[in-house]
Structure 1
């Protein structure tokens, strides 16, 4: 059987097929695809802020509704709940926003930082 595999014509074709399966057709295509999949750090910051705003609004509304069922919720109390929510969001997002700003500095964005921040805070 070793004689049948030494024909040369089939070996070249098989080797090319294996090599082609291991390497992308365009070496730069993989880098371009990764860049397209990884959001810009500024876009990630905007998405995280948007998500935090959605959660904040929902939770503030829930809290105010529960507090208001007792009937003694003043305007001052409502404002206190709103301020508390604002401070919580600001403090919770300070670290990821700082990391995303650092990731955005320079020409080389850190896609791992962006992906991590989005997975933790963006969805």
Structure 2
């Protein structure tokens, strides 16, 4: 068994350095135990969606934050989408689209 070369040791150290700095700064996950994100858990009432894309967005937000039985905050979402044709065949038919979406939101206190 051979020992690692010094260049490998330096490379490993340089790769580990950002992780050490991140740990030293007091980083903690928002949705971890005792994190700041738990204040929103099961306390946000998301407004009803207006279209298909809004439905998918509301579903994803509720899967992260939970459904509020006794809401403290209300969340309004406005979604706009645009569709650009990417691949057009020789007959002029569009075969592939690029779907871009933008969402604006407003979190309001219900009290």
TM-score (norm 2): 0.27
Q: Which has the larger radius of gyration?
A: 1
Larger helix proportion, structure 1 or 2?
Answer: 1
> Larger relative CO (CA 8 A, sep 6+): 1 or 2?
1
Larger strand proportion, structure 1 or 2?
Answer: 2
